[in-house]
Amino acid sequence: MAINVTTQEVSLCLAPATAHARAAVTNAAASLGSFITAGIPVNPSGIYGKADQYPIAVYLQVESGSSGSVYVTLDGLTTPTTALGLLLPQGPSMLKVTGDDMFRNDRIKIVASIAGPTYVQCFFVF
C-alpha cells in the first residue's frame, strides 16, 4: 500500500506587539481608541498584501476587582451612559466585537460609571 503525502505552504500572520492594550476608561464618554495610549493598533505589515490592516475583532473585559462598571455602544453615534449601552463583563467573561469598520472608524464608544479610571483589557485580533 502506497501513501501519498503532499505539503502546502501556509501564510501565518502574528499579531503585532500592540495587539493587547489596556484602556483607562473615565466617566467622560469617548471612542475606545481615545482611552488607549497608542490608539487602535494597526498591523503595519498587513496580511495578504494589505498594508496597515486594522483588527477584525476585539475582546473587551473590565479588569477583575474594578469598582466601576463600563458601558459600550457599537453604532458609532450613540453616546453610552449608565442607562444606555452594553455592560462590559468582568473576568472570566468577555465581550467580543467584530467588524473591520468598527476599528477603521473607531466606532466603539465607551464610558465608566465612576470618574475612574476603570481599566479595560483589550485583545485585538488580526
Whether the predicted pLDDT of 13 surpasses 80? no
Query: What residue type is 12 in one-letter code?
Result: L
71-108 pLDDT, tens digit per residue, is 999 999 999 998 999 999 998 889 999 987 888 888 99
C-alpha cell at 94: 468577555
What proportions of the chain, in percent to the nearest 5, are helix, strand and coil?
10, 35, 55
Whether the predicted pLDDT of 50 surpasses 90? no
Least confident of 3-7, 65-69, 78-82: 3-7
Backbone angles phi, psi at 48, to 5 degrees: 55, 35
pTM given for the model: 0.80
15-49 pLDDT, tens digit per residue, is 454 589 999 999 999 999 999 998 998 876 666 66
